[in-house]
Each structure stands twice: as C-alpha cells, then as structure tokens.
Amino acid sequence: MGRQGKQPRMAESGALPTGFREVEVLAVGTVLLVEALSGLSLNSLTILSFCKAPERQTPSCLLVLSLALADSGISLNALVAATSSLFRRWPYGSEGCQAHGFQGFLTALASICSSAAIAWGRYHHYCTRSRLAWNMAVFLVLFVWLSSAFWAALPLLGWGHYDYEPLGTCCTLDYAKGDRNFISFLITMAFFNFILPLFITFTSYKLMEQKLRKTGHHQVSTSLPVWTLVLGWGPYALLYLYAAVTDVSSVSPKLQMVPALIAKMVPTINAINYGLGSEMVQGIWPCLSPQKSKQDRAQ
C-alpha cells in the first residue's frame, strides 16, 4: 500500500520524483523559501520585541514568545525543505530525514498547543479579571514543549514513523503505509494535539467574546486564531485521516504536497496576529519603537 516507506527517487539521486515536472519542483521550492523567510523575519521581530522591552516581558507575552519560537522552528524546517527542493536532492540521508521529521513535528505540535495556551491565557484575563501569574505561564510553556517533544519522539521509538514526503526533499510523519501502527498513533496523537487544543482555543475565545459583548465591545473579533488552526492544520488532518481509511496513493503526489505548503504559512499569519496585534489584544511589535515604549511606561 502506498510507498511502503521507500525513498522517492529525488531523495536518492536528484531525479525528478514521480508526478512532478521540473517547473513544479522549482515552484514548490520557491513557495517554501518565501514562506520560510517571511516566517523567520516576522517571528524574529516578536522574539526581539520580547527581549528588548521590559514592559513586554509579562506572563501573557511569554506564551506569545513560545508560539514565536515554535513558528520559527517551522520556518527553519521549511527553509531546509526549500533548499533541498531548489537543489533537487536531499543531501542529509535517512538519519537527516528522521531529524528533519522530528524537528518539524515537534515545532508544529508546539505551535498548535501554544496557540491553545494563549487562548486560555486570554480567557483567564478577560473572563476572570485576574492577571496570569508567572508560575502558571512558565508551567504552560514547559508543558507545551515537553508534551510536544514526547509525541514527536514516539515515531523515532517505533510508534509511527518519519519518511519523505512525495517530493522527496522534506520529511514528515509517514502516512503512506496506513497500517495499524500509523492508525493507532494518528488517532491518539490527533486527539491530544489537534482536537483538544482546537476545542480549548474555540471555547476560550467563544466565552471571551460573549463576555466582551456584555461590556459593549461588539467590534471585537476572536475568530482568527481558530480559523488559523482549522485552515492551517486541517488539510494535514484530512490527509492523515484519508490515509488511515484508504490507500493514499490514489491522491496525486502534487495534491499531497498542498497541506505542507499551507501549514508553512501559519508562522507568518501567527506573527501578524499575535506580534503586530489584533482588535482584542495589543501586539508586542510596537515596543520596537522607543517613542511607543516611553508611552507604555508612562501608562
């Protein structure tokens, strides 16, 4: 069924993989490169802003910092994939593939769970009217990263498996086999790392929106973080679900690459939403302006 764990030709020799033309390989590499550079630059602003301005070093901003670090990791993963795609070969061997898959999966899970942690933190702030404590923020960040590392390490230990994506220049959780090992890992992992974080994010923002409406803030929109999770990571979830119930080889290799390209856009969207700010919570980029920082300290 499917690839059965075999490496695409491109990963071995630089030959074009089945189902791709030269221009399509270059197009994928170019899109990945743009997404990687965009995500890295924008999330670097978020990280720099947190480190530069003491008034932004708050428990709530620590959660945003965790998200920015995770999204920077996704962008670095995309940069490796973009470079390999543009050079038309995977130069790091099977061990490099495992490391690339682990790093990408770790940062993806950390990004999803950090978004849920931010949603819960905002609910705590706006609905309970009590500030998020440092010890709780540190606990959430540690839990997010340790939990993500745990789930990302399981394929290295035999539950699940990392393998090349159809293009052969990036690695992810192998869904081509569709065996019991994959299905059991997928269902368990998806519940704790996609369905549960999505539920927390949706519920937190929904309750917060209801609370803010009562105080007259009708213009506040809380739907963007939820839609980012659904549209950014939903295609991957659908692809994995399809692979669990039928032979994924019936899906064209080019179509199988679409979820990866969509997911690599999430770091840029998150950086704009959480770094630049939203209608609901001021972002942390404005503190890069010395004049703005003085105004904040005066307030």
34, part of any domain: yes
Mean pLDDT by 10 residues, the chain (299 residues): 48 67 90 96 90 83 94 97 89 93 97 95 84 93 98 96 89 88 94 96 89 68 86 94 89 92 96 69 52 43
CATH number, domain containing residue 271 = 1.20.1070.10
14, part of any domain: no
292, part of any domain: yes
Separation of alpha carbons 243 and 257, rounded Å: 14
DSSP 163-224: EE-TTSSSEEE--SS--HHHHHHHHHHHIIIIIHHHHHHHHHHHHHHHHHHHTT-TT----H
6, part of any domain: no
- What integer pLDDT is reported at residue 4 of this predicted model? 44
Separation of alpha carbons 62 and 111, rounded Å: 13
Count up the domains in the chain and report the number. Answer: 1
Cβ partners under 8 Å of residue 104, min gap 6: 73, 74, 77, 170, 171, 172
The SS3 of residue 106 is helix
Q: Which domain holds residue 268?
A: 21-298
72, part of any domain: yes
- What integer pLDDT is reported at residue 67 of this predicted model? 96
**Counting beta carbons within 10 angstroms of the beta carbon of residue 22, is it exposed (0 to 12), middle (13 to 18) or buried (19 or more)?**
exposed
Q: Which backbone phi and psi does 43 adopt, to 5 degrees?
A: -75, -25
4, part of any domain: no
In angstroms, the Cα distances linking 35 to 32, 115, 262, 290 are 5, 19, 9, 29
Compute the Cα dihedral for 275, 107, 145, 151 and give only its sign: positive
11, part of any domain: no
- What integer pLDDT is reported at residue 21 of this predicted model? 85
113, part of any domain: yes
- What integer pLDDT is reported at residue 296 of this predicted model? 45
